Structure 1
Amino acid sequence: MTTETVRENPPSTIIAAFFGFLVSTVSAIAGGLLILNSRDEIAAALRRANPAMAQDQLDRLTLLGQVIPVAIAAVVALVYLWLAFKLKAGRNWARVTLTVFTLLQAASLLTTEPSWAGYVSCGVAVVATVLSYLSPSSRFIAAVRRAG
C-alpha cells in the first residue's frame, strides 16, 4: 500500500469507531447542556449549603455552577473530536488516548450521578474503542505507521 492509499482508505472498523466517537461526543454535549435546565436544583443546593448567602451571591454562584461544567464539556468535546479525526487518520497515540478517556468516562459513571446521555455516551465510546482495536483497525494503524 502506498502512503496515500493507506491514509485514504481506513477500514470499516476505523470508520465505525470514528462515527462512534462522534456520536459519543454529541451525546456527552447533550448531557452537558442538561445542566442548563438545572438552575433551580443548583440554587437549592447552594442555599442548603449556606442559608445565609445573599441573593446576588447565590445568583452568581448558580450561574457559575451552570457555565463552568458546560465550558469544560465544550473543551473536552473539542479534544475528543480532534482525537477521533486523528484515529481516522491512523494515529495509534489517538487510539490509546481515546481508550484512556473512555476508561475515565466509565469510571465517572461509578462516581457521579450521570444522566441518560452519560450512559449513552459511555456505551457508544466503549463500542468505538473495541472497534478501534479489531484486527482491520490494528492492521490499518500499523500500515500508516510504516508508511509514515
Structure 2
Amino acid sequence: MVRFVAELFDRESLVEQARRQNPEMGQDQIDAGVNGGILFGLLVVTAVLLAYTRLANAMARGKNWARVVLTVIGAASVLFGLFRVVAWAGGIAAEVGVVLRPVDLVVTVVTAGLDATAIVLMWRSSAHFRKRVAVDSNFLRP
C-alpha cells in the first residue's frame, strides 16, 4: 500500500503516462483525469486498509473464516509478486512497456516474503482457533 500511495503522489509520472496514452487530450483534461485517479486511488486504499483491519481483528478474536480469507488474499499477493519477478526476469515486462525499477522489485520480493510468512504463522497458531471453537461451543450449551 505504501508503494501504491507513493505512486499516486508522483503526479509528474501520472501526467506523463496520461499524456502518453492520450496525446490528443488537453492539459485541463489530463489534470482532471489525474486528479480523479488520485482521489479514486486514495478511496480504494482506504477501503482495502479498513477491510484488512477488520479481517485481522476478526482473526485475532479466533474467527477461522477470517483466517481463511486472509490466507486467500495473502496467497494471491504472493502469486502476483512471483509473477512480477518472473515477468521482469523473463523480459516480458519490458516487451509490454512496463518499467520495473530495482526498488519496485525489492519491495515486491519483501512483500511476498512477508505475506508468505504471515500465512505460515496464521496456520501455525491453530491452537488459538481450536480453543476459541471450544469456548464458543461451551457457551452455546444449555
TM-score, scaled relative to structure 1 = 0.70
Name the residue aligned to 1:142: 130
The total of aligned residue pairs comes to 118
C-alpha distance in structure 1 between counterparts of 2:127 and 2:46, whole Å = 32
C-alpha distance in structure 2 between counterparts of 1:117 and 1:72, whole Å = 20
Name the residue aligned to 1:54: 26
Deviations 1:38-59, CA, capped at 9 Å, x for gaps? 2111111111111110111100
Matches within 5 A, 1:1-148: 28=1, 30-109=2-81, 110=83, 115=104, 116-134=106-124, 137-148=125-136
Q: Displacement of 1:118 after TM fit?
A: 4.6
Q: Which amino acid aligns with 1:87?
A: M
Q: Secondary structure of 2:24's partner? A: coil
Cα RMSD (Å): 2.1
Q: Which amino acid aligns with 1:142?
A: R
| Ranges in structure 2 where 5+ consecutive residues have no aligned partner | 85-97, 137-142
C-alpha distance in structure 2 between counterparts of 1:32 and 1:118, whole Å = 12
Fraction of identical pairs, as percent: 28
| Ranges in structure 1 where 5+ consecutive residues have no aligned partner | 1-27
Higher relative contact order (CA 8 A, sep 6+): 1
TM-score, scaled relative to structure 2 = 0.72
The ranges of structure 1 where at least 4 consecutive aligned residues each deviate by more than 3 angstroms after the TM superposition are 111-122
